[in-house]
């Protein structure tokens, strides 16, 4: 069973967090978002207070099916990192449910390949997978630190992530392992042409996990996308550059989508 918290009233805005964290990572932006609808902060399966998917399978479709059970129509989905990958799958499988999609430091393919250069080497994610068996707490902390690399507000970002990482309980080892498998092996690029709702691709200029260069390539594959790059931000722009993040996101919520590319200072 999925755990989630709701705030405010109005059109639904779902928040999907990244690997090893929980819906509480969004605490700082939730009050502002409630001015635009009812905010639902979800703990992904096996994270926070949520159970693993029913049946024991933890692939992308199984996780998506868990989310479908709580998502009503005309939804805005904001997905960060791993949550963004899941949000893309949700939008292409259940287009009737999604009004708009915000992809925060997310990508349809997280690992580098010959035809997808703006990504991390496979060995980086595999290194975290190997570390889980030895000391999963230390591995999570190392992963959080990498998310802040390059950011102008690195110390603030790490502090924010570390404060939230276990606040809803510790993630289950299966969810951690399978979440890394999703980041390593999933390639949703062929499915992006099926996503016709407006999509905001919101990236950090200094992100080392999802390089900003991936944004242009992702936008080309989506029928209705706009790209914004936050100058000086790393992998968690909603923590390091919250004001700019909110300005861009709320403008997108309120406006019709256009094919634009912007760099925000």
Residues annotated as catalytic are: 81, 207, 235
Residues 181, 222: Cα–Cα separation, whole Å: 24
Contact 237, 184 (CB under 8 A): no
- For the chain, give the longest Cα–Cα distance: 48
Contact 132, 177 (CB under 8 A): yes
C-alpha distances in Å from residue 41, one per residue of 21, 54, 190, 226, 252: 12, 20, 29, 24, 19
Q: At 103, which helix (H) or strand (E)?
A: strand 98-104
Helices 122-147 and 173-185, interaxial angle, to 10°?
120
Q: At 155, which helix (H) or strand (E)?
A: helix 154-164
């Amino acid at each position: 069973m999925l755990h989630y918290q709701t705030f405010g009233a109005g059109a639904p805005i779902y928040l999907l967090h990244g690997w090893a964290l929980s819906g509480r990572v969004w605490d700082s932006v939730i009050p502002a978002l409630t001015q635009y609808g009812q905010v639902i902060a979800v703990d992904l399966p096996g994270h926070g207070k949520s159970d693993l998917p029913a049946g024991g399978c933890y692939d992308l479709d199984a996780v998506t099916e868990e989310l479908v059970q709580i998502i009503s129509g005309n939804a805005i989905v904001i997905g960060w990192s791993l949550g963004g990958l899941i949000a893309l799958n949700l939008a292409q499988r259940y287009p009737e449910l999604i009004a708009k999609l915000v992809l925060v430091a997310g990508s349809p393919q997280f690992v580098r390949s010959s035809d997808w250069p703006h990504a991390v080497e496979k060995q980086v994610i595999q290194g975290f997978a190997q570390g889980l068996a030895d000391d999963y707490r230390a591995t999570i902390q190392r992963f959080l630190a990498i998310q802040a690399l390059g950011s102008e507000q690195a110390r603030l970002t790490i502090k924010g992530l570390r404060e939230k990482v276990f606040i809803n309980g510790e993630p289950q080892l299966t969810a951690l392992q399978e979440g890394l498998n999703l980041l390593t092996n999933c390639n949703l690029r062929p499915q992006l042409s099926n996503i016709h709702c407006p999509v905001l691709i919101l990236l950090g200029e200094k992100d080392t996990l999802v390089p900003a260069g991936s944004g242009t390539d992702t936008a080309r594959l989506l029928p209705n996308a706009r790209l914004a790059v936050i100058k000086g931000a790393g992998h968690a722009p909603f923590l390091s550059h919250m004001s700019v993040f909110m300005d861009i996101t709320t403008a997108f919520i309120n406006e019709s989508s256009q094919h634009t590319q912007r760099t925000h200072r």
